[in-house]
């Protein structure tokens, strides 16, 4: 049995990107490309892991893959069968994103015993953190024009064979796996994006705000003052205090690739309700609108 973690990274999303899988310090691999999204990095990591283990003569071993992307897990274990029946089109008739990767992954998983397990990203999971570090390092190297640390890969490890099977599983640690029509990417990615937006405003990170805000972004602070993406990047208005406690988030899929995330923040002057309208741009969340309202 092989247990590995797979992860992807993109600086700009899309931007310089990297991927990595990690078994242990002596068995890992990474790579990068000039531009790509987090999703492309994640999918490439899984694909390379499957290919590398097969080329090392380990295709008969059960493969357990830890991933922090519910999109990747859902796509490979829940939605892919329906996509194939519809000639790689989604329920709305639109082409599946990253089709070439999906087709290659489907081919590699045939006859393999593969189990996917969800793990929360940046939460101290040793293997996930190791894969994340290497994927981010690859993306950084691509950005800076440096050589990517590719890793040793597999060393032709021997192990007990298992019965070949095309069956895959998901283990989401109590989280419900939703249908593509209900939530194509899973709420988690929008919670992560919202948390990143809060940090970016609190830290005054112009580069992060440029990545997270759509070009046509509009918003209002708790006093009713309007703001644009340019205002936000220039720190004209401050949406969040540095110490306000963020409450539980709720996410709603509004259709047409739009998602709303709502939550309360406890501020010194009283609680404030925050709502952000997100869209998927090249498979990655971007904020279109934000409203802060005193309660």
Question: Annotated binding site for Mg(2+): which residue ranges?
Answer: 7, 42, 68, 132
Place of tokens 């739009």: 258
Residue 157's SS3 state is coil
How many C-beta neighbours within 10 Å does residue 9 have? 29
From the annotation, which residues make up the binding site?
7, 42, 68, 132
Residue 30 bridge partners (DSSP)? 20
Q: Which of 15, 18, 31, 42 is catalytic?
A: 42
**132 is a catalytic site residue:** yes
Q: Could you tell me if 76 and 46 are in contact, meaning their C-beta atoms sit under 8 angstroms apart?
A: yes
In the residue annotation, 24 being an active-site residue is answered as no
Per DSSP, 236 falls in state -
Question: Active site residue: 8, 41, 186, 283, which one?
Answer: 8
Pick the catalytic residue from 100, 122, 169, 216.
122
Question: Rounded CA gap, 224 and 235, in Å?
Answer: 16
* Catalytic residue list contains 225: no
* Residue 221 is among the residues annotated as catalytic for this protein: no
Cis peptide before 14, with omega less than 30 degrees from 0? Answer: yes
Catalytic-role residue among 18, 31, 41, 68:
68
Give yes or no for a contact between 105 and 47, defined as CB atoms under 8 angstroms apart: yes
Catalytic site includes residue 7 = yes
Q: Which two tokens stand for residue 264?
A: 């309360």
Beta strands in 146-205 (DSSP E): 168-171
Q: What angle do CA 107, 75, 55 make, to 5 degrees?
A: 30
Q: Judge whether 42 counts as a catalytic residue.
A: yes
Report, as residue numbers or ranges, the catalytic residues: 7-8, 42, 68, 122, 132
């Amino acid at each position: 049995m092989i247990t590995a973690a797979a992860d992807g990274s993109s600086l700009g999303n899309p931007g310089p990107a990297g991927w990595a899988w990690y078994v242990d310090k002596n068995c890992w691999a990474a790579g990068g490309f000039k531009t790509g999204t987090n999703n492309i990095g994640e999918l490439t990591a899984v694909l390379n892991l499957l290919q590398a283990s097969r080329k090392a003569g380990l295709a008969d071993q059960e493969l357990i893959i830890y991933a922090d992307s519910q999109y990747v897990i859902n796509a490979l274990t829940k939605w892919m069968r329906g996509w194939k029946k519809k000639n790689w089109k989604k329920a709305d008739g639109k082409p599946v994103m990253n089709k070439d990767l999906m087709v290659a992954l489907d081919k590699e998983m045939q006859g393999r015993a593969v189990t996917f397990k969800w793990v929360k990203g940046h939460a101290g999971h040793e293997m996930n953190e190791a894969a994340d570090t290497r994927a981010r390092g690859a993306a950084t190297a691509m950005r800076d024009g440096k050589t990517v640390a590719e890793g040793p890969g597999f060393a032709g490890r021997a192990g007990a064979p298992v019965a070949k099977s095309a069956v895959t599983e998901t283990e989401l640690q109590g989280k419900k796996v939703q249908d593509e029509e209900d939530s194509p990417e899973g709420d988690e990615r929008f919670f992560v994006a919202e948390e990143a937006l809060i940090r970016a405003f609190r830290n005054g990170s112009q580069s992060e705000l440029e990545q997270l805000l759509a070009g046509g972004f509009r918003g209002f602070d708790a006093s009713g003052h309007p703001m644009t993406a340019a205002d936000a990047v220039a720190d004209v208005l401050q949406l969040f205090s540095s110490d306000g406690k963020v409450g539980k988030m709720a996410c709603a899929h509004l259709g047409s690739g739009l998602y709303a995330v709502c939550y309360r923040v406890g501020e010194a002057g009283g609680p404030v309700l925050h709502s952000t309208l997100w869209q998927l741009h090249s498979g990655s969340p971007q904020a279109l609108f934000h409203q802060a309202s005193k309660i």
